[in-house]
A and B are shown apart, each in its own frame.
Chain A
Amino acid sequence: MRLRRRHALPGFGLTLGLSLSYLALIVLIPLAALALKSATIGPMQFWHAVSGPRALAAYRVTFGCAALAGAINLVLGPLLAWVLVRYRFPGRKWIDALVDLPFALPTAVAGITLTALYASNGWLGRWIEAAGYKVAYTPAGITVALTFVSLPFLVRSVQPVLEQLEPDIEEAAATLGATRLTTLRRVILPTLWPAILTGFALAFARALGEYGSVIFIAGNVPMVSEIAPLLIVAKLDAFDYAGATAIAVVLLVASFAALFAINLVQLWTVRRRSAEAR
């Protein structure tokens, strides 16, 4: 690196050819099929498909529940990361490993299990219904499933930042007379914000497209508890390919926007760091 002397490593042509053709075959050409299909629909039909009352209700449920699940993880994820990094207690390593369970557990398994737990005769559902509430087969159930699948994102994006945190600043704050809570709020939390926002955006993007864990617990009543990915499947089942494609484009644009926001956050963090360094 220092000398920048180019020793020609072999394999450029081979790996370039292989990577590009495989990428084109598996990802780009199929995605282009979606773009082409949406281009052939025609603006009026497209608008009708994406703005019908059933579609609007599906967006409301999807975006609302995904945001709520993200918000729950926004509070509890960093809290869990803090406990895992800073406290020592028996079973800590097990819990740390278990945080990745939602990544490893197939979504259909998560779906039927959460449904069984929260149904009216389930371990949790029976207490919840005795208290007069209902979770399974309502948007609350969708939120529970989305909280489960997006749980690791916040923990795993905050955890490494906490591990790298220099103790000096906290010690300085304490020396200057700040209480522990003030230090948490005024010193630690500000350095965590970029990681928290990144985790939230990842969690939100994942929750928008989630299907397997949700459809069992959702109830799937159109206009009430039908998520947008399920609406795509419903339209496909009815051979309405144009309608399915139109809803898919809306969902894709939304997840790309969420991921684009992450890049902005990271750019902003780098800028702020370099400004501080100066």
Chain B
Amino acid sequence: MSIARRPSNALRDPAWLRATLLTIALLFVTLFLVLPLIAVFSYAIAKGFGVYVASLVDDDARAAIRLTLLVTAISVPANTVFGVAAAWLITRFTFRGKNLLVSLIDLPFAVSPVIAGLIYVLLFGAQGWLGPWLAAHDMKIIFAVPGIVLATTFVTFPFVARELIPLMQAQGSEQEQAALTLGAGGWSMFWRVVLPKIGWGLVYGVILCNARAIGEFGAVSVVSGHIRGVTNTMPLHVEILYNEYNRTAAFAVASLLALLALATLVLKQLVGWRMRRGVPESEVA
């Protein structure tokens, strides 16, 4: 940061080079990021504000919003608890197979969303390994809400752990040791020392996890069965409306998701800023 502010002639690109690079970069950003963002909102209100609101309060739209919130409310906390536990385990203890565990936690990032859906169909679907047993006990996972929750949890699995592991590694365990020496119990150390210490990192991970959970499409699409009002999440509802040539309604629901993406970017920026200020330089290094 300080490098760029120091006016050193040796580090300055010639004016023609600056102008060329800046133009190309701005064109690229405008074409691929700014224009799509403007387009979502302008298509959404293309037929006026009345149509926009009507598309959002429609029964199917409301059911989709409810389902998306429900799924997120299960997946995100589950992955958060796991993320904290896994990060504690990995950064505070040495044991055999630790590196393997770290790689396995990242595994879902390498799996296509469609394949994430497929594996649950193979396990729980009517022709899957557990399908006959589930049918005999009158339980439904695929083409029902539990399948959507599982698929969403799979694709958002690494987010929290991934944010916390490097942070807790950098922070070290001196404060926890001190708390224990002073007689704190395990849980009281966790609530009073560990949680405040990792706070912003945890929030950062949860924000990313939440954004992906709400917006997941491919994995959910495979396990959902697209039953309107029952197993339709917001992204799936966008798809259905779009394929029915109901473009304005599709973009209206899409604009809600885009607003959420913008909120995520703003929060991410704020929390990132807090994190850099909150941790003293020596501990980051």
Residues of A whose CB lies within 8 Å of any CB of B are: 1, 7, 9-12, 14-16, 18-19, 22-23, 26-31, 33-34, 36-37, 76, 79-80, 82-89, 95, 97-110, 112-114, 116-117, 123-124, 147-148, 151, 163, 165, 167, 170-171, 173-175, 180-181, 184, 205, 208-212, 216, 229-230, 232-233, 236, 239, 241, 244-245, 248, 251-252, 255-256, 259
> Is B217 a contact partner of A107 (Cβ separation < 8 A)?
yes
> Is A211 a contact partner of B218 (Cβ separation < 8 A)?
yes
9 more contacts with CB within 8 A, not counting A15-B86, A28-B104, A98-B265, are A33-B122, A88-B4, A95-B26, A105-B258, A105-B261, A112-B238, A174-B11, A184-B13, A252-B110
Which chain A residues border B120 with CB–CB below 8 Å? 30
Interface stretch (choices B34-42, B50-58, B132-140): B34-42
How far does the alpha carbon of A84 sit from the alpha carbon of B33 in the complex, in Å?
Answer: 15
Residues of B whose CB lies within 8 Å of any CB of A are: 1, 3-4, 6, 8-14, 17-18, 21-22, 24-26, 28-29, 31-37, 39-40, 43, 78, 81-82, 85-86, 88-89, 92-93, 95, 101, 104-105, 107-108, 110-115, 118-123, 125, 127-129, 150, 153-154, 157, 172-173, 176-177, 180-181, 186, 189-190, 208, 211, 214-218, 221-222, 234-236, 238-239, 242, 247, 250-251, 254, 257-258, 260-262, 264-266, 268-269
Q: Which of A26, A83, A123, A229 is B114 in contact with, Cβ under 8 Å?
A: A229
How far does the alpha carbon of A245 sit from the alpha carbon of B128 in the complex, in Å?
Answer: 12
How far does the alpha carbon of A22 sit from the alpha carbon of B158 in the complex, in Å?
Answer: 12
How far does the alpha carbon of A205 sit from the alpha carbon of B111 in the complex, in Å?
Answer: 9
Of residues A26, A95, A117, which shows the largest number of chain B Cβ atoms within 10 Å of its Cβ? Answer: A26
How far does the alpha carbon of A245 sit from the alpha carbon of B127 in the complex, in Å?
Answer: 13
Task: Closest A residue to B120 by CB, please name it.
Answer: A30
> Is A251 a contact partner of B40 (Cβ separation < 8 A)?
no
- Quote the shortest CB–CB distance from B38 to chain A (angstroms): 9
> Is A87 a contact partner of B18 (Cβ separation < 8 A)?
yes
Given contacts A113-B254, A116-B39, A255-B112, whether A170 and B222 have CB atoms under 8 Å apart is no
Q: Which of B1, B218, B269 is A107 in contact with, Cβ under 8 Å?
A: B218
Task: Closest B residue to A231 by CB, please name it.
Answer: B114
How far does the alpha carbon of A15 sit from the alpha carbon of B186 in the complex, in Å?
Answer: 12
